[in-house]
Amino acid sequence: MNEKNKKFYLTTAIPYVNAKPHIGHALEFVQADVIARVHRLRGEEVCLLSGGDENALKNVQAAEQEGAPVQEFIDRNAESFAELARQLDVQFDVFQKGSDRTHHFPSSQELWRRCAAAGDIYKKSYEGLYCVGCETFYAVDELNGSGECFEHPGKKLELVAEENYFFRLSRYQNELIKLIETDALAIMPRHRKNEVTSFLKQPLQDISISRTNARAKNWGVPVPGDDTQRIYVWFDALNIYQSGVGFGWDEERYQKWWPADAHLIGKGILRFHAVYWPAFLLSAQLPVPKALYVHGYITIDGQKMSKTLGNGIDPFGLIEKYGADPVRYYLLREIPSGEDGDFSIKKFEERYNGDLANGLGNLVARVATLGEKISPISLNDVYPKEQPRTKVIDEAYEKRVAEFRLNEALELIWGLISLGDKNINDGKPWAVSDEAELRRIIGDACHLISTVSRLVAPFIPETARKINEQISVGEMEIIIKRGANIFPRLR
């Protein structure tokens, strides 16, 4: 296989930047980073994209509430997301902002024009109950007993008719079903795919893809050829996946990267990615993404994250206290990749002490101490006996990553660590006086550790680097140098 020339284009969801990032964003960033690093280590050319959904009305409202100019507000929040990525050691190749007028605006307008050219965009008037206080539309069942919104009781809602542009989603129903059933657009985990296919059994209704300037507060991408309307945020935000790699402004770049090999998203936005987005692309006669990886949500101490409970965990504080790798490790190991998971400081510290300090860190420390005296060890003196086992684990690992079961990939690696500890206990190198025998035992352990380091590298890159500083298996010899404990035990 010629993997050297393969490209791999992965995206995170585009967070809307009306507030600072929380631990859920950290989860998604880290998961994406691991997948990207795995492909990079295979020698593929990788592009990992994130960005900011900045054209949403919520951003405008949040900015107003704070009394800040909208652009300034979203720039500040978007920067906070980018900063989180940096602190987590997450390497984004592109961070595409939705408010970028140079690249993103023309790109979204191009997508619009293509859909319009296909005859899939038409005007229709829409009627709804509008609360002036909230400046949003409400459905009847969202209102209280007297037909008023909960935020502004006593205030009558207005029946507002508005003319918007609609997208002929209904036209793509059959194509979408085929796409998803055949896994041309693969959705993982499996039950998320079922959710979408069952939704697609219902007749699809066309969706509105614009807002009047008044409702959009003159914020967002203008509709091509109609400056009284703005493009609806979802039509626009999804296109960040394309605008970030050149669609509408750099054809060569676009051809190189598109279609995306995978979009990593949270379960709450599955429909937009599995139905609306491919439909827009089909209409525009553009390739659709190949896969969706869907993760769950994080609870804190078993409870939903909520502002009113104030139980949010600040990812920045966590990284500052424990370091990036332990945070990455927890999110990747404790949270099943495609499911909901829980975060608590107690569990975090248990994972840290159990897996990182007593497990990985301790194994490296004991081998480094035992081996330093006889370093360097010539590879001629070593026959790595765990090689066959390593190979099996290697294959299983690849499979778990491809299936978006990152937590299980880590579980496999920790099995190898356990084996390393057991081999040392059995070999009792501290009691061995025969030097050849000692070299054999220690060399073996070093081989195993270097495998662990290689496998663990996409997950906890800084740790892999630290391991290699202490134990490095080269072409000819193994060099061992005892250093500081990689994960000092907590307490």
Give min distance, CB of 419 to RNA, in A.
Answer: 8
Q: In what order do the strands lie in the sheet with 222-223?
A: 210-212, 226-231, 222-223
List C-alpha distances in Å: 312 to 32, 308, 316, 323, 347: 22, 10, 12, 19, 16
| Integer Cα distance of 76 and 459 in angstroms | 29
Amino acid at 427: G
Of 22, 97, 103, 104, which one is the catalytic site residue?
A: 22
Q: Is 149 a catalytic residue?
A: yes
Of 131, 193, 263, 295, which one is the catalytic site residue?
A: 131
Which of residues 91 and 170 has its CB atom nearest to RNA in the complex?
170
Give min distance, CB of 364 to RNA, in A.
Answer: 6
Give min distance, CB of 255 to RNA, in A.
Answer: 28
Of 47, 115, 149, 446, which one is the catalytic site residue?
A: 149
Q: Is 304 a catalytic residue?
A: yes
Contact of 93 with 10, CB cutoff 8 Å: no
Which of residues 91 and 485 has its CB atom nearest to RNA in the complex?
485
Of 7, 304, 321, 373, which one is the catalytic site residue?
A: 304
Give min distance, CB of 462 to RNA, in A.
Answer: 14
The two structure tokens encoding residue 157: 């809602």
Give min distance, CB of 458 to RNA, in A.
Answer: 19
Give the DSSP H or E segment for 367. Answer: helix 362-372
The two structure tokens encoding residue 465: 């680097």
Q: Is 47 a catalytic residue?
A: no
Which of residues 207 and 286 has its CB atom nearest to RNA in the complex?
207
Q: Is 307 a catalytic residue?
A: yes
Which of residues 255 and 306 has its CB atom nearest to RNA in the complex?
306
Give min distance, CB of 347 to RNA, in A.
Answer: 6
Segment 345-353 long-range contacts (CB within 8 Å, at least 24 positions apart):
348/318, 348/322, 349/490, 351/326, 352/322, 352/326, 352/487, 352/490, 353/489, 353/490
Which of residues 53 and 89 has its CB atom nearest to RNA in the complex?
53
Of 6, 58, 134, 385, which one is the catalytic site residue?
A: 134
Contact of 334 with 298, CB cutoff 8 Å: no
The two structure tokens encoding residue 365: 């420390």
Of 201, 307, 346, 428, which one is the catalytic site residue?
A: 307
Q: Is 22 a catalytic residue?
A: yes
Q: Is 131 a catalytic residue?
A: yes
Which of residues 1 and 140 has its CB atom nearest to RNA in the complex?
140
Contact of 389 with 417, CB cutoff 8 Å: no
Residues tagged active-site: 22, 25, 131, 134, 149, 152, 304, 307
